[in-house]
Structure formats: C-alpha cells, structure tokens
C-alpha cells in the first residue's frame, strides 16, 4: 500500500486574506523605501544634510502604504491589480 500524504489546504477566505497581506506589506515596504531614498536625496542636495527630509519621506511612505492597505482591506472584491 502506498501512503498518501495529506496536504493541509486553507479555506479560500484565508488564502484571500494572506494574498491581501502580502500585497499590503510589500507595497508599504516599497513606498517606505522610496520615501527614504527621496528624503536622503533631498537632504543631500537641498537641505545641507539635515535629518528631517529623511524622516518626512519615510513618514509619507508609511502613510501612503497604510492608506492603500486600508483601501485593499476594505475592498469587497479582493485585492486590486494595478496594470503597469
């Protein structure tokens, strides 16, 4: 007799929630990284190497990631697909 390995399958609602979390976390990470990069660039080029543009950029990135994540979780049809 061959032994059949049983694979645990998560329900579709749990899979959808996992997919949404993946999109939200990666989106927030990318937005925060872009805000950090723009803040460093502005700090070096314009503000004589002060720290506030970096923190401002990180704050904008986190805020934008949070806002888009909130929209993704409130959407009744699943997560949004953005065509590039």
pLDDT on residue 16: 76
pLDDT on residue 38: 94
pLDDT on residue 43: 95
Q: What is the pLDDT along the chain (84 residues), one digit of tens a residue?
A: 555 666 677 677 788 788 888 989 999 999 999 999 999 999 999 988 899 999 999 999 999 999 999 988 887 765 566 665
DSSP letters, 44-64, are HHTSTT-SHHHHHHHHHHHHH
| Those residues with Cβ within 8 angstroms of residue 68's Cβ, 6 or more apart along the chain or in another chain | 24, 27, 28, 31
**pTM flag (> 0.85):** no
Domain boundaries, the chain: 29-74
pLDDT on residue 82: 62
| Rounded Cα–Cα distance for residues 20 and 79 (Å) | 6
Count of C-beta atoms within a 10 Å radius of residue 27: 19
């Amino acid at each position: 007799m061959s032994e059949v390995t049983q694979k645990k399958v998560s329900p579709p609602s749990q899979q959808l929630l996992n997919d949404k979390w993946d999109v939200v976390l990666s989106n927030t990470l990318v937005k925060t990284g872009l805000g950090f990069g723009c803040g460093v660039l502005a700090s070096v080029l314009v503000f004589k190497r002060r720290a506030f543009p970096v923190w401002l950029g990180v704050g904008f990135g986190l805020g934008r990631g949070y806002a888009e994540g909130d929209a993704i979780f409130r959407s009744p049809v699943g997560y949004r697909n953005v065509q590039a």
